[in-house]
Every structure is written in structure tokens, then in C-alpha cells.
Structure 1
Amino acid sequence: MNRPPIQLIDSEADMLANLAISVEQRLPQVSELLLDEIARAEVRRAGDIPRDVVIMGTTVEFVSDSTGQHRTVQLVLPQDEDISNGRISILTPVGAGLIGLREGQSIMWPDRGGREHRISILRVDQTTVTA
């Protein structure tokens, strides 16, 4: 499967790898997807990540090409997840698929049922990221 290039912050990559490994037994699909993304990412210092890249805490607007549904969500750690307020966990299939993408990029990505959908990034807002 040909996926677009992605970028991760070095400290986030390490933290996300540890998180993915910690849920390997409970969430094997998401753990594997996230570890695969981390392994293929270009890992950079925080100051070298462009402002249009999805990082933890980013608010991102995307569209599922198969359904046409537009969503705007904030990508968060599992303990901060709150679907009703638009905060989705990195440990969901869509959360793992969004990390590292840039505005304008698309990725073929499985949903919880394993069906592939194209997710296209429309807008990235890093101003919601807290240090």
C-alpha cells in the first residue's frame, strides 16, 4: 500500500510508540497501524515540523471520500478523548491515520471494521496544541 510521507515530532514518536506497545493486546489493529506509521515517518525536532502537519493536540478538518462526511476533530491522548466535544484519541483507527499528515494529503486507511477509506486533510490548526 502506497501511503503519503508523514512527519512526527521526535518526542511524540517515542511516546506514541510506547503507547501503541502498551495497548498491543487490547487494541491489536490500532497498535499495529500506529507502530507502522511511526516506523515510516520522518522524525524531526518540534521546531522543524511545518505548521500544516497533524501533531498531537492539533485540530484537523478532514473528509472521508467514501462518505463525503466532513469532520473537524482535535487529536488527543486516550485520557483526553471526548467525542461529544470533537476530541478523538490517537488510539482510534482514524486518529492513528491522521497523525503526521499535512494539509492537502490523502491516505487510504482502514476503519474499525477493516474497510479502506480515503481520508483527505483539508485544514490543520496547530494553535490548539498545548505545550
Structure 2
Amino acid sequence: MSKALRPQITIAQETVDHLDSLVQGAAARMPELAERLLEELSRARILPAARIPADVVGIGSRVTWRDETTGQEQTATLVWPEEADIDAGRASVLTPIGVALIGLKAGARFQWETRSGEHRNLTVLAVGPGNIPA
């Protein structure tokens, strides 16, 4: 998807600081994913956490999205890598879908590339607080 057609993303400054550290650690192990995350961060609108709207996907957000090709809906809570557990519905921000979702607002449409290289159009349907154990 061309850069002009990508939806706006908004990320909390505190999240950006942590993501910068993660990218540095992931660069050798997952260079393509790290590069994609850096690209997203470079175009993000950065705000203090208190100013991030409730309908923007952040760490700890529970997000539901729809694959426009299949009509399938999925829901997960976006988390830091150490909290990820896909069986419990917690997706790491350091996964292709995590990188794609971070900073998006409910209603945003975006193109996503699956692990097999297939391009899909996805729509963020809902964003809310997640259920992450303390």
C-alpha cells in the first residue's frame, strides 16, 4: 500500500520509547519486522499517553478486526512480547499483525501481508481496554 494511502497512526511517547528498545533487540533476529516497525514509528503522531484517544490501538488494547477478503473477524489484546500468549488472546506488538495494528483508530482500513506473503485488507472494528493480568 502506498504511504499516502495508509491510515494515520497515533502512539504514546512512552510506548515509542519501549518500542525503540525492542526494535534494536529484534533487528538481528527479525530484520524485516524491525524495519516495518521503524517505518510505522517514523510516520506516527506521537502524543503523551493521557492524550491518546480511547479508540486508538495501544499496548493493552483489546482490538477486533475483520479480514475483508474472508469476512472473518478476530479479536486480541495487543501486548509486549513477554506477555504474549495467542491461546489466551494476547498478541505481541512484535508480530506482523501487532506492527500493523499499533496506533490505528477504530474504523481504519489497512493492507496487511500474511506470513505466507498474501496481501489482505483489514478493518479495525472496535478498540477497548484489554484484560491483561497485572
Q: 1:130 to 1:56 in 2, by over 3 A?
A: farther
Deviations 1:97-131 (A, max 9, x none): 00000000111121222322112100000364789
- Counterparts in 2 of 1:30-49, with a 5 A limit? 30-49=33-52
Alignment pair present for 1:12 and 2:15? yes
What secondary structure is seen at the aligned counterpart in 1 of 2:39? Answer: helix
TM-score (norm 2): 0.91
TM-score (norm 1): 0.93
Alignment pair present for 1:78 and 2:110? no
AA at the equivalent of 1:34: L
AA at the equivalent of 1:73: A
Q: Which residue of 2 aligns with 1:50?
A: 53
Q: Aligned partners of 1:31 and 1:42: how far apart in 2?
A: 19
Deviations 1:71-92 (A, max 9, x none): 0100011111111111011111
Let me know the Cα RMSD of the aligned residues: 1.6
Aligned residues: percent identity? 37
Contact preservation (8 Å) 1:61, 1:123: yes
Which of 10, 26, 29 is residue 23 of structure 1 equivalent to? Answer: 26
**Number of residue equivalences:** 131
Stretches of structure 1 that go unaligned for 5 or more consecutive residues are: none
What secondary structure is seen at the aligned counterpart in 1 of 2:17? Answer: helix
